[in-house]
Amino acid sequence: MNIVLASPARAGSRSGNGRSAARYRGLWTELGHRVRVTTTGNLAGADILVALHATKCAASIDAWRTRDAHAPLIVIVAGTDLAGRARERFERSLDAADAIVTLQPHAIDSFPKRARSKARAILQSASATLEHAGLRHLENDRDFEIAVVAALREVKDPLRAALAVRALPKDSKIRVTHYGPALDESIRREAERLSDECERYTWQGARSHRETMALLARSRALCLTSISEGGANVVSEALAHHLPVLCSAIPGNLGILGDDWPATFEVRDTASLLELLLRFESDERFRNDVERRTRVLAAYVTPARELAAWNGLFREVCAPGHS
């Protein structure tokens, strides 16, 4: 098929939408389709439209339906769709879709009932970076490295780990390495200040995907502090590397990890995160349990599993008589 992917950001952009567009283009090309990413709403030559964002791609969705009321349309729901204020526009996009894709199943609970039957969760996949595999098993007597991979913007609550580690006892070996672009100037200044003042925390700015995967491969855990998520791809990348995830207890995280995930803390709660970090470092039985659960979940984020899900969905929405 000729697939047009409407995206708020071009494939290759370092934004989250840009990385998602590039990832989906690669997946669907692997399935044998021809994929073009558009940020302008150019729908020429498309057999099917996939909108990467229900609200930010509204113009493309409306243009597609104006052109053909029955042509196949898939809408992927992003985290900012779920947390945004444009609820009426969000629901209009859901109503227009033949199928709705979420990145974790809990997102469907927030949909109007009329849209839920069209929705399914397709977890984002990832592969381990083999050249770095096993680095975390080389015990370091000095550091217990925790990774934070988050852009500096409010919804990520990106400095929560930095605030927590300031209160660690002197005998703790925890160090936080933070990768992520600065999208908010005031948060950037605070990240730089905390990096200067706290030897346990270092914000290193935007890094390449290869560098980020190397960080995940060598770290002891990923710390994800977001206030809201549609389903963060970095969680899949951590699971693929068998890297435990310490995360805020929000639906976007628990939808991937499970409602019984033990390594959670309360949103925006520095003391709760501090307690979790200390427990993960000092309680070997707890850490082993989280690591065991992580290895089990890795099987759910394989590329083969995601490819099969997308292949099945494309066949379904493009089948003769589908409505």
Nearest to 297 by CA among 79, 104, 151: 104
If asked whether residues 74 and 172 sit together in one domain, one would say no
pLDDT at 286 over 90: yes
User: What local confidence, expressed as pLDDT, does residue 21 receive?
Assistant: 92
If asked whether residues 163 and 49 sit together in one domain, one would say no
If asked whether residues 83 and 14 sit together in one domain, one would say yes
pLDDT at 243 over 80: yes
- Run of H or E residues at 253: helix 251-257
As a whole number, mean pLDDT of residues 189-208 equals 97
pLDDT at 254 over 70: yes
How many domains are contained in the chain?
Answer: 2
| In a domain? residue 323 | no
| In a domain? residue 287 | yes
User: What local confidence, expressed as pLDDT, does residue 223 receive?
Assistant: 98
If asked whether residues 74 and 219 sit together in one domain, one would say no
As a whole number, mean pLDDT of residues 158-180 equals 97
List the beta bridge partners of residue 48. 3
With pLDDT > 70 as the criterion, what percentage of the chain qualifies? Answer: 94
User: What local confidence, expressed as pLDDT, does residue 141 receive?
Assistant: 54
User: What local confidence, expressed as pLDDT, does residue 203 receive?
Assistant: 98
Query: How would residue 320 be classed by pLDDT, with cut points 50, 70 and 90?
Result: confident
One-letter amino acid identity for 296? V
| In a domain? residue 281 | yes
If asked whether residues 292 and 156 sit together in one domain, one would say yes
Query: How would residue 253 be classed by pLDDT, with cut points 50, 70 and 90?
Result: very high
What is the span of the domain harbouring residue 82?
2-125+302-317
Residue 76 and residue 104 in contact, taking contact as beta carbons nearer than 8 Å: no
**Chain mean pLDDT for the chain:** 93
Strand order in the sheet with 221-224: 201-203, 174-179, 144-149, 221-224, 245-248, 264-265
Residue showing tokens 């769709």: 81
Which stretch of 64-68, 82-86, 143-147, 237-241 has the lowest confidence by average pLDDT? 82-86
Q: Where are the beta strands (DSSP E) in 152-211?
A: 174-179, 201-203
If asked whether residues 117 and 200 sit together in one domain, one would say no
Query: Rounded to whole angstroms, how far apart are CA atoms 155 and 262?
Result: 23
Query: Rounded to whole angstroms, how far apart are CA atoms 239 and 126?
Result: 8
As a whole number, mean pLDDT of residues 17-28 equals 92
Q: Pairing between strand 201-203 and 221-224?
A: unpaired
Measured between alpha carbons, how far is residue 193 from residues 166, 189, 225, 235 in Å?
13, 6, 19, 27
Query: Rounded to whole angstroms, how far apart are CA atoms 20 and 34?
Result: 17
User: What local confidence, expressed as pLDDT, does residue 100 receive?
Assistant: 98
If asked whether residues 135 and 277 sit together in one domain, one would say yes
Query: Rounded to whole angstroms, how far apart are CA atoms 110 and 19?
Result: 25
- In degrees, rounded to 5, the angle at the alpha carbon of residue 240 between the alpha carbons of residues 149 and 244 is 60
User: What local confidence, expressed as pLDDT, does residue 29 receive?
Assistant: 97
If asked whether residues 71 and 41 sit together in one domain, one would say yes
Domain containing residue 88: CATH number: 3.40.50.2000
If asked whether residues 252 and 114 sit together in one domain, one would say no
List the beta bridge partners of residue 221. 146
pLDDT digits (tens, 9 = 90+) for 107-155: 999 999 999 999 999 999 999 875 545 555 555 556 899 999 999 999 9
One-letter amino acid identity for 293? R
| In a domain? residue 216 | yes
If asked whether residues 212 and 175 sit together in one domain, one would say yes
pLDDT at 180 over 70: yes
pLDDT at 323 over 90: no
| In a domain? residue 322 | no
| In a domain? residue 201 | yes
Both tokens of residue 240? 């693929």
If asked whether residues 281 and 142 sit together in one domain, one would say yes
Give the DSSP per-residue string, 16-51: HHHHHHHHHHHHHHHTT-EEEEESS---TT-SEEEE
If asked whether residues 145 and 292 sit together in one domain, one would say yes
With pLDDT > 90 as the criterion, what percentage of the chain qualifies? Answer: 85
pLDDT at 85 over 90: no
Query: Rounded to whole angstroms, how far apart are CA atoms 164 and 103?
Result: 29
